Amino acid sequence: MDDLDFALKYPFSSEAKQIVQNIHLTDRVLELGAERIKKALRGESKARVVLNQEGKKEDIASFAAARMILGFMKNTFLTNKFAVNESKVVRSHLDKEDKKTVERVAARFDIFPENRNNTMLLDLPTYVRFSVRSPYYRLVNRKLTNGFVEINDNDLRRLVEEAVRKHTEDIPVVRDPPKQVKHIAERIIEELPKSETTINAKEGDHPPCILNLLESAKKHQNLNHSARWYLATYLNAIGMGEDAITGIYAQLPDFNEKTTRYQIKHLRRKGYNVPSCSTVMSYGLCVASCRTGNPVRWHKLSESRKKEILK
């Protein structure tokens, strides 16, 4: 793969930076940057197909343009959505690459896996820096050898995906951009989904682990699969309606209304129970020692305490 095609797939690479240096942020490039952000809003993680050299260069520059627009907008929701979407696009490329190319992308984030006796090892600090919040990646579930963590090809791709997300959401503030950027920012604001839902949970309403997840949703941070699943079973069990639960999930950067509603209906139909505290602990989501055994029990005890006080 030549440098141009590599940069097209990986617009954060040093190859991309070199190419972008010689390109002006024209109106066309800024519009492509805006479209990149809007694609993230729509949850479209398919890469744009560009065939000619000029088009490829503009597409690479549109990544920098999008970051400039977001740096001016300072909108956490949009930035998180953009970062998640871009990392998913990169992941779809990585899944089709050979090992050498994956390692080339990984090197951009100082991820240097070592191969010893047919085993792939990654140094502990790098692993911790880019591993995701999920039981599978927790250190207690990993094989450690002399400060190195054993990983496989798929783990490496996932770690790089996370590194891309982190890098992409780390956008410097742009204070005084060109006029065109300001106009684009105004247009994007108009197109933002108007959510009626505000997450109004306060201490005493829900157990600390749930408050923690609601706080993350409020900040438009991504939640991993276990966290989403746990939160949905809990909200359903305490009697929250489908619309209200969907409204909370609408705050997440990769929200998809159809999928969310389908999953809520599915968990209701199947009658899934809320996991016990020890299971929540194994998900890495427990943040206190409430001694209630089950998060729903925590909620019920809290509700009856409130009723006692009002008597």
Angle at 95 between CA 94 and CA 97, to 5 degrees: 60
Distances (CA, A) of 90 to 102, 157, 168: 10, 9, 11
Smallest gap, in angstroms, from Cβ of residue 301 to ligand SF4?
A: 10
The reply to whether 238 sits near ligand SF4 by the rule CB under 6 A is no
The smaller minimum CB distance to ligand SF4, of residues 33 and 207, is found at 207
Minimum CB separation from ligand SF4 for residue 280, in Å? Answer: 4
Q: How far apart are CA 254 and CA 222, in angstroms?
A: 7
How many Å apart are CA 81 and CA 43, to the nearest integer?
8
Residues in contact with ligand SF4, counted by CB under 6 A, come to a total of 13
Least separation in angstroms between residue 20's CB and ligand SF4 is 46
Q: 163 or 277, CB closer to ligand SF4?
A: 277
Least distance CB 276 / ligand SF4 (angstroms): 8
Of 244-303, which residues contact ligand SF4 (CB under 6 A)?
A: 277, 280, 286-290, 292, 295, 298
Residue 277 beta carbon to ligand SF4: minimum distance, rounded to whole angstroms:
3
The minimum distance between CB 286 and ligand SF4, in angstroms, equals 3
Q: Which is nearer to ligand SF4, 148 or 298 (CB)?
A: 298
Which C-beta is closer to ligand SF4: that of 263 or that of 292?
292
Pick between residue 94 and residue 209 the one whose CB is nearest to ligand SF4: 209
CB of 297 to ligand SF4, least distance (A): 8
The interface with ligand SF4 within residues 184-223 (CB under 6 A) comprises 207-209
Residues at the interface with ligand SF4 (CB under 6 A):
207-209, 277, 280, 286-290, 292, 295, 298
